[in-house]
Structure 1
Amino acid sequence: MKASPLAAAGVALASTAQAQVVQFDIQKRDGPNLRDLGRRAATINGVLSNQQIQGGYFLNVEVGTPPQNITLQLDTGSSDVWVPSSSADICTQVSQRNPGCTFGSFDSDKSTSLRTVGKDEFDITYVDNSFSKGDYIQDDFHIGGVTVSNLTMGLGLDSSIANGLIGVGYINDEASLSTIRSTYPNLPVVLQQEKLINTVAYSLWLNDLDASAGSILFGGIDTEKYQGDLTKINIQRADNSNVFTEFAVELFEVQATSPSGTDTLSTSVDSLVAVLDSGTTLTYLPQDMAEQAWKEVGASFNEEFGLAVVPCSIRNVNGHFSFTFAGADGPKINVTMAELALDLFSGGPQPKFSSGPNQGQSVCEFGIQNTTGSPFLLGDTFLRSAFVVYDLVNNEIAIAPTNFNSTKTNVVAFASSGAPIPSATSAPNQSKSGPSSGTGGMSAASGFQDSDNAAPYTSAFSGPGAIIVGMTIGYTLLGGAIFGAGWL
């Protein structure tokens, strides 16, 4: 999981459930505006709130007896549910730089159904060294009209993160492996054990950047939420391991296409494996590949803030990046420029370039950033353009281009535990052959912007936004948990 760099907007949530499927819908709001969760019968379908500025997608849940309302971030890149304790310093020591636990916290003393099952045994650290520590507890967990009794969760008594998480990854990536050396049934497993869904699988539809609704659907797929065909690809095991820990897939090729043509981005990485991670706001590619992407769009890397930026007007450019998986014949997802330019902060005017070729234009964060080593992450700037099915039993991902802003629904549940993904066919000729070496040219770059601006440049920022960006840039690097035998 990686969070966004920027200040939080608010949350609004609703959800539904069906027999053998549980869905939680995703809704976006500019300020806190929470709704109660509802219920349907047949799958479990849930509402996620798109926090465009802070980054990430959030679910409204209730924990304990009597229920306490908390908003938690959905994270396919980790595996533990955890809640911030109301007594944690990050919740109580509010300041200009620390607004406190605005998404809610949990007062364990007020829950009559809580049991502590691991004193001082919850300890999770993410890629950027942000952390949460405390106890493992069991308590009632209410989500989407569904109640799970005695769900094992972490209670963050000492945390650098102000909001809790709903980790829905493999149990082999749980934080408990770093302390008690064992796993426990996490939320997706418990939903199957309680016969609310037939198998440990779910599908994710984030919709577009400005969308007010999307969903996570446990136990099934929605055929109205994607275009074309669902294609299955293999999840890759961690290096030197026989277990699956992350939703890591082979990224075969990345191409940039504009009216000028198509360029294939190259990399020195022999076999490019990327993790599909809803808890990561941006997409992180190898350094050499990211730099080529920046050159395509004329992005500049700002040393002060540690990220690549572009003029916000690039959203209107007729171009896209294509991501191809599991070989040349595998599924391809196109991500348009409208999905790759993110505002730097919420409210008020955006910072502007005060010098350089884009002087006077508003500054946006570019949705493809760099990293010098694994994990390579396909975060929300990629996932919004894809409908993704996560099958934790058969260790497969099914993927198709998303059907943006679909108002129809056709939910199909998995038939049984271990049943194949409905309506999906396997990608042919899957192989870990690694990404293409590229064409070596940048002919498409002139189609993304004026050719004079096609190389990275350095520009100063001006305006009130520059201060806020500097204060909030630390939120960018949360990332996946760095314990256990995973890719992370």
Structure 2
Amino acid sequence: MLPSIILVLSLSFSSSVAAVPHRRDEPLHIPILRRSNERRQAGGIDRFASAASNLRNKYGIGQSSSPQRRAQTSDIGITNQGSDTSYFAQVNVGTPPQSLDLVLDTGSSDLWFATTGCAGCSGNTPVLNPAKSTSLQLGTQRVSLNYGSGSASGIIARDTVSMGPFTVNPQTFVAVDELSSGLVDGELNGIMGLAFEGIANTQAVPFWQAIINDNLLTNPEFSFFITRFVNNQNAKPEEPGGVLTMGGTNSTLYQGNIDYQSFTPGAGGGTFWLQTISGVTVNGKTVGVGSETLAAIDTGTTLIGAPTAAVNAIWGAVSGAEPLTGNFTGFYSFPCNTQLSIAISFGGPAWPISINDLNIGTVSSGQCLGAIFDITAGSTVKPTTGTPQWIVGDTFLKNVYSVFRSNPPAVGFAQLSAVAGSSGSPSTVIGSPQATSGGPTTGGSSSAVRSMIPLGINGIIIACALSLLTTAYMVIA
């Protein structure tokens, strides 16, 4: 989610870790919970059209020519978000600590909390009460953040922030007092950006970078395993969502080697977690994806956004696929009973995407909506040099174990283990036998995680459902 900045506070101080840090020699494994969006059923597949529009806004396509900090503006895009699922983690802030659930988003870098008196917050939104923290330092300048699924604005502040055993004191964040409807749902409070400092609108060091800079982690990396509950009508409001591991990996959740692909994060402290698409296959046959291949790996996005040429080539190789129009311009439908196999390579193995993730709902009789869409459709402003042309969200990430390493910068993927619900190799279409003409079904990973993770533990929200094809909830946004 690439927020828009109204005013940037130039801070003379910088985030640092607590005075007496304690190095953790073993990686920390944090269970993730998945929260269902109650509006999902009412919104139907229309939510994906809104999500696509929001995702374009998030990455500045059709709105701004720069993926970096945007020019000052008073305009705040409001998006009607309809999410499939979201993933969240519990974060503590203030003295004494107040516990709040935040979305974890590798597609943005700012940290924010909704605060008391928040305009636009629902009656269910837990809020940070600044008056109850003796250590909070509240500034005077405002920042506006624009996400694919909505917007937030507030005052830049500093306070003690911790997740698990790791504490940053002080950590810079935005004390949000104004939210657009739908940016966070249920009992979620805010967003923790997990991308690099270079795209932080507050110009602050992100929490994850601060704990790495202070040498609190054994390894300068974090990793994700996330579960699948797509179109599972029996899913509870909260389900086990997977595991976030800080400082390393969880070897029980993947098998074989982790395929690391290095990248140059960019100037100014880095930008997104980037990869280069080296190949795409459809039902085992290679399709051309053109020269626009730079991809952002975004846990805060649900779908996969790609350039026009690549999208047309992918769906052109699927028998019966049809381009859609109107609100769904840029999307394709395909026969629901298709045993579709699409795999993406980033310079190493080709990683298959389950049909359960590619098929995101029924469009018409016998035709289902595809999860790979044209991110530039209908936009007059195209990505500039250095801007990701692909946005690879949870449609892909649910099918792999993913590792984000800051030094040297790299993203790694590995095959899911049997414990995590996979029984095939990277060349296997995981989950495809479960597909039915009625649409996608739940993959096998959920039951495994259900037995692995205590239901009472609050976890991390990656915002996985379409909006975040943009950030916040994973809706395409």
Q: What is the TM-score normalised by the length of structure 2?
A: 0.63
- The 8 Å contact of residues 80 and 153 in structure 1, kept in 2 or not, is answered as yes
Mapping of 1:22-421 within 5 angstroms? 22-30=28-36, 53-91=83-121, 100=122, 102-116=124-138, 118-126=139-147, 128=148, 130-144=150-164, 146-160=166-180, 161-162=183-184, 163-176=189-202, 183-193=203-213, 195-209=215-229, 212-238=240-266, 241=267, 244-257=270-283, 262-268=284-290, 270-295=291-316, 296=318, 298=321, 300-305=323-328, 308=331, 310=333, 313-314=336-337, 317-326=338-347, 330-342=348-360, 358-359=364-365, 365-372=369-376, 373-374=382-383, 375=388, 376-403=390-417, 405-406=419-420
In structure 2, the residue matched to 1:44 is none
- The 8 Å contact of residues 209 and 339 in structure 1, kept in 2 or not, is answered as no
Q: Alpha carbons of 1:201 and 1:119: their partners in 2 closer, same or farther (altered >3 Å)?
A: farther
Q: Alpha carbons of 1:66 and 1:244: their partners in 2 closer, same or farther (altered >3 Å)?
A: closer
Q: Alpha carbons of 1:114 and 1:369: their partners in 2 closer, same or farther (altered >3 Å)?
A: same
- The 8 Å contact of residues 37 and 85 in structure 2, kept in 1 or not, is answered as no
User: What secondary structure is seen at the aligned counterpart in 1 of 2:327?
Assistant: coil
For the residues of structure 1 that align with 2:143 and 2:418, how far apart are their CA atoms? Answer: 38
Aligned-pair CA distance for 1:250: 0.8
For the residues of structure 2 that align with 1:20 and 1:122, how far apart are their CA atoms? Answer: 37
Runs of at least 5 residues in structure 2 that lack an aligned partner in the other structure: 4-22, 39-80, 231-238, 377-381, 423-434, 438-464, 473-477
Aligned-pair CA distance for 1:54: 3.9
Identical columns (%): 22
Runs of at least 5 residues in structure 1 that lack an aligned partner in the other structure: 4-16, 33-50, 92-99, 177-182, 344-351, 409-447, 451-472, 481-488
- The 8 Å contact of residues 304 and 469 in structure 2, kept in 1 or not, is answered as no
For the residues of structure 2 that align with 1:245 and 1:209, how far apart are their CA atoms? Answer: 30
In the alignment, residue 69 of structure 1 is paired with which amino acid? S
In structure 1, the residue matched to 2:63 is none
For the residues of structure 2 that align with 1:474 and 1:223, how far apart are their CA atoms? Answer: 28
The number of residue pairs the alignment matches comes to 346
Q: Alpha carbons of 1:370 and 1:189: their partners in 2 closer, same or farther (altered >3 Å)?
A: same
Q: Alpha carbons of 1:31 and 1:476: their partners in 2 closer, same or farther (altered >3 Å)?
A: closer
In structure 1, the residue matched to 2:60 is none
User: What secondary structure is seen at the aligned counterpart in 2 of 1:294?
Assistant: helix
Q: Alpha carbons of 1:214 and 1:404: their partners in 2 closer, same or farther (altered >3 Å)?
A: farther
Q: Alpha carbons of 1:54 and 1:249: their partners in 2 closer, same or farther (altered >3 Å)?
A: same
For the residues of structure 2 that align with 1:332 and 1:474, how far apart are their CA atoms? Answer: 24
In the alignment, residue 119 of structure 2 is paired with which amino acid? D
Aligned-pair CA distance for 1:366: 2.6
Q: Alpha carbons of 1:292 and 1:405: their partners in 2 closer, same or farther (altered >3 Å)?
A: farther
Quote the RMSD (CA, aligned, Å): 3.6
For the residues of structure 2 that align with 1:30 and 1:312, how far apart are their CA atoms? Answer: 27
User: What secondary structure is seen at the aligned counterpart in 2 of 1:228?
Assistant: strand
Aligned-pair CA distance for 1:382: 0.6
- The 8 Å contact of residues 114 and 177 in structure 2, kept in 1 or not, is answered as yes
Q: Which has the higher contact order (CA 8 A, sep 6+)?
A: 2
User: What secondary structure is seen at the aligned counterpart in 1 of 2:126?
Assistant: coil
The structure with the larger Rg is 1
Aligned-pair CA distance for 1:170: 1.2
Aligned-pair CA distance for 1:332: 2.0
For the residues of structure 2 that align with 1:299 and 1:108, how far apart are their CA atoms? Answer: 52
User: What secondary structure is seen at the aligned counterpart in 1 of 2:92?
Assistant: strand
User: What secondary structure is seen at the aligned counterpart in 2 of 1:338?
Assistant: helix
Q: What is the TM-score normalised by the length of structure 1?
A: 0.62
